[in-house]
Structure 1
Amino acid sequence: MFTIAFVGAGSVEFTRQLLRDVLSFPELAGCTISLHDIDSERLEVAGKLARLAGAANVRTSLERREALEGADVVVNMVAIGGHQATLKDFDVPESFGLRQTIGDTLGIGGIFRGLRTFPFLDGLAADILAVCPDAWLLNYTNPMAMNIQYLATVAPRLKVAGLCHSVHWTIHDLSALVGVPPEEVDFLSAGVNHQAWILRWQHEGRDLYPALDAAIAADPGLARRVRVDLYRRFGFYPTETSEHSSEYVPWYLKHESEVERLRLPIRDYATISAENVATYEKTRDALRAGDEPPPLTEDAVEYAPQVIHSLVTGQRRTIQVNVANDGLITNLPAGAAVEVPATLDRLGVHPHHVGALPRQLAALNRSFLNVVDLTVAAAVEGNPDHVRHAALCDPATAAALTVGQIDDLVSAMMAAHGDLLRGA
């Protein structure tokens, strides 16, 4: 019987979304759902939700290795340190005058989210290789590029694919903007997670970029978005939201005028994180009272259920994945985590060779990957100096602070996160 292990299953909203999509496939109705979390209350809630979703075979465990036994697929969605660590990622940099919007991918927030996640990934990789070495690890946890490059470095035998829905929703929303059904669109996207690019975008052989240009020209409000600003300057549309995209370059968050022009919501993810906690509490309380849990807040389309369905049935489909760059994008560093199309089938996940990105896009991606590489190196080599190097090389941090302020900020973040950086 096919077994899916959810690690970090206490992220109940996301667990519900994935379970809904998994169980929508008749071929997966009899699969075993194995749930793991270190929080017993959240794990109990996740188990109840899995049974409400219609899962016939559900098991729960506070012991990760026990939960992984016999798994064919492992879905990772942990958030090390939870909401309190997220608040520190915002509060400490803010005290130095550094603005962030999301803080989970790059920048000082992304660096420290990566550093506190790496010790967990060491343990997860060891457990998978010990009890289910043939399983696919499907990673949703951010910072995606850092986590994938780290796993490729420390556990090269592990079968890993990083999954993110940003490309799907970019194509969905852009197609709606130009009046074309997204399911009829052909596209090619590649780059790095949260900073990939729509390289080709067509409907019945017609390039849709001119239609996007016309839509932008007709609506001045669209120009007040970072993504549109980047598109107009670099020639290709980026695949992550303006809130995210503003943090990966030096030009926007430092300047109050740009924050206002582009309507950037400072500390946006701190608010989202608090809302996630509130949603969990409402769900927990409803289940305790014997009531229906609150409805899911969005009709998400996730890749993990599609991967699982293809592994079980052999159905071929193409999605976007994050994997180590083994010649897939020729003008980005070897071994770096890149986001490319991949074919799914019964044998697994097969990334596509893309070739060279346009030079200006590769240049931005390399700036992004410099921070990733230094953060990973700090952990792999045990060299804390590389944490400071990563912060110094981070575009938005370097634009906002002096070198002395960056050094002091890194020290403050190390103190704030304490034992989480050592896996405690």
Structure 2
Amino acid sequence: MKYRHDKVSDVQIAYIGGGSRGWAWTFMTDLALESRMSGTIRLYDIDKEAAKANEIIGNHLSGRSEAVGKWEYKTYDNLNEVLEGVDFIVISILPGTFEEMAVDVHMPERLGVYQSVGDTAGPGGMIRALRTIPMYVKIAEAIREHAPNAWVINYTNPMSLCVKTLYEVFPKIKAFGCCHEVFGTQKVLKGILEDTYGMEGVSRREIQVNVLGINHFTWFDYASYKGIDLFPVYQEYIEKHFAEGYKERDTNWANACFACAHRVKFDLFLRYGLIAAAGDRHLAEFMPGNEYLKNPEMVSDWKFGLTTAAWRKEDLKNRLEKSRKLLAQETEVELKPTGEEGILLMKALCGLERVISNVNIPNSFGQIPNLPLNAVVETNAVFERDAIRPVVAGKLPDAIKALVMPHIENHDYILEAAQNCDRETVVKAFINDPAFAGKNCSREEIRSLAYDMIDATMGYLPGGWK
């Protein structure tokens, strides 16, 4: 990197999963809108044709007159080459295909287990992790050899296990996980504040929060706006609007399939006293399976949705068609801020800003003192030149800690299972998971499900599983 007049040039960014038809365009947009950084985006993907498409799309975008951030996009053939000498590494991959995800999400329905996402918690999240961990072992080994001082930004789910694997393989890695779910809850608080006080133009970033928990099961125990304690405001709004929930105004960060009325987070506030800070479809999967995900009718009553594999396949078709149009220049990437913070955090790590944002890293500093030190937790952190300084968020209340701990235990079980190709440790994690609460299924039925799900994803598992 080269510094000059409060700008940094020749920034080298490796993008693993650079053939993405979606997130990559978000990344490109934010880069094109940032005037204080420039450099090279090195694209690497097992689907080289997809990466080459994004090379063309990215270079065309960077060449537009309104793109103030100038970047050169290049496709690389192998992992070691793309990493050599880079400053930042972005990892955003799909472990497997939507055929495997169909198994993750829908096979557990034979035992009455419904999953609204299936990529983080529950049986679907755990089987996805078994596919993902071997990939992350290889990535971490390559980073250790070719870019040990680079900052590594992970966007892949299951977030906690991806970050945990990186540190397990390379303890000195400078890796962190980025997730926008906290931003979505800040937007809800912003909207409720505007409704309550007749305000306009409140910025999401002006909603100050203390973040604590694990990815997709995060909580606020503090929320404030310019001296206003938002907890009483939130409680009063819930008491008036619990039945209908809250209607999203700004859905830039989501889409119709992911929309919810936030009734699950309203209910969790009434039960536990903290503001649950993720989308309802994520929050529901961390709770006992008979509470919000008993059946599709219950899901509908709580006003969120089940993200089916069929929807994801249809969405992929739409994104492939968008990729074709972008390549043919029949359409353009829209240049407006996406609301993500990845580029802002890179600027801070380059020394151009000082930023406080939520981050997923190991609990090594005791950010949440009553959770294990080896757990990957989500709290705020200060980002500044070549440093991330996690904020000590404080203890989780005992009742919420009791909800979190089975998932932290399962992170350990699944990492162990992936390392040892051990089916029975996967079974142990399934039995421990709250998704099976109230489902009236036997241990043997759960074991059979675990074995069948492992067999169904065998094409993406190391040979030791066979």
Same fold (TM over 0.5): yes
Normalising by structure 1, report the TM-score: 0.93
Partner of 2:251: none
**What secondary structure, in the 3-state scheme, does the structure 2 residue paired with 1:213 have?**
helix
Matches of 1:246 and 1:156, distance apart in 2:
32
Partner of 2:131: 116
Q: Tell me the alpha carbon deviations over residues 367-420 of structure 1, each in whole angstroms, 9 at most, x when there is no partner.
A: 221222211121234433211111111101343233122111101101100131
Does 2:321 correspond to 1:282?
A: yes
Matches of 1:377 and 1:202, distance apart in 2:
40
Partner of 1:165: 180
Q: 1:97 to 1:362 in 2, by over 3 A?
A: closer
Partner of 2:293: 253
Matches of 2:58 and 2:333, distance apart in 1:
14
Q: Tell me the alpha carbon deviations over residues 330-365 of structure 1, each in whole angstroms, 9 at most, x when there is no partner.
A: 111120010011111112222112231222222211
Partner of 2:436: 397
Does 2:404 correspond to 1:359?
A: no
**What secondary structure, in the 3-state scheme, does the structure 2 residue paired with 1:281 have?**
helix
Which of 360-369 and 176-185 deviates more? 176-185
Matches of 2:71 and 2:20, distance apart in 1:
21
- CA shift for structure 1 position 255: 4.9
Partner of 1:415: 455
Q: Tell me the alpha carbon deviations over residues 151-183 of structure 1, each in whole angstroms, 9 at most, x when there is no partner.
A: 222221211101101111211222212216233
Normalising by structure 2, report the TM-score: 0.85
**Equivalent of 1:207 in 206, 229, 247:** 229
Q: 1:19 to 1:256 in 2, by over 3 A?
A: closer
- CA shift for structure 1 position 115: 0.7
Does 2:229 correspond to 1:229?
A: no
**Equivalent of 1:43 in 51, 54, 62:** 51
Matches of 1:221 and 1:184, distance apart in 2:
27
Q: 1:75 to 1:392 in 2, by over 3 A?
A: same
Matches of 1:349 and 1:398, distance apart in 2:
38
What amino acid is aligned across from residue 245 of structure 2 in structure 1? L
- CA shift for structure 1 position 42: 1.1
CA-atom RMSD in angstroms: 2.1
**What secondary structure, in the 3-state scheme, does the structure 1 residue paired with 2:368 have?**
coil
- CA shift for structure 1 position 49: 1.9
Q: 1:371 to 1:202 in 2, by over 3 A?
A: same
- Written as runs of structure 1 = structure 2, the 5 A alignment for 1:14-413 is 14-28=23-37, 30-54=38-62, 55-179=70-194, 181=202, 182-219=204-241, 220-222=243-245, 225-250=263-288, 251-255=291-295, 258-266=298-306, 268-293=307-332, 295=334, 300-326=338-364, 327-400=366-439, 401-413=441-453
Q: Percent of aligned pairs with the same residue?
A: 29
Which of 236-245 and 61-70 deviates more? 61-70
- CA shift for structure 1 position 287: 3.6
**What secondary structure, in the 3-state scheme, does the structure 1 residue paired with 2:305 have?**
coil
What amino acid is aligned across from residue 462 of structure 2 in structure 1? R
Gapped runs of 5+ residues in structure 2?
1-9, 63-69, 247-260
Which of 69-78 and 144-153 deviates more? 144-153
Matches of 2:150 and 2:223, distance apart in 1:
34
Conserved 8 A contact 1:70-1:132? yes
Matches of 1:122 and 1:37, distance apart in 2:
16
Matches of 1:95 and 1:140, distance apart in 2:
31
Which of 58-67 and 249-258 deviates more? 249-258
Conserved 8 A contact 2:426-2:450? yes
Which of 61-70 and 214-223 deviates more? 214-223
* Higher RCO, 1 vs 2 (CA within 8 Å, ≥6 residues apart): 1
Q: How many aligned positions are there?
A: 421
- CA shift for structure 1 position 244: 1.2
Q: 1:78 to 1:257 in 2, by over 3 A?
A: closer
What amino acid is aligned across from residue 205 of structure 1 in structure 2? G
Q: 1 or 2, which has the higher helix percentage?
A: 1
Conserved 8 A contact 1:322-1:338? yes
Conserved 8 A contact 1:4-1:34? yes
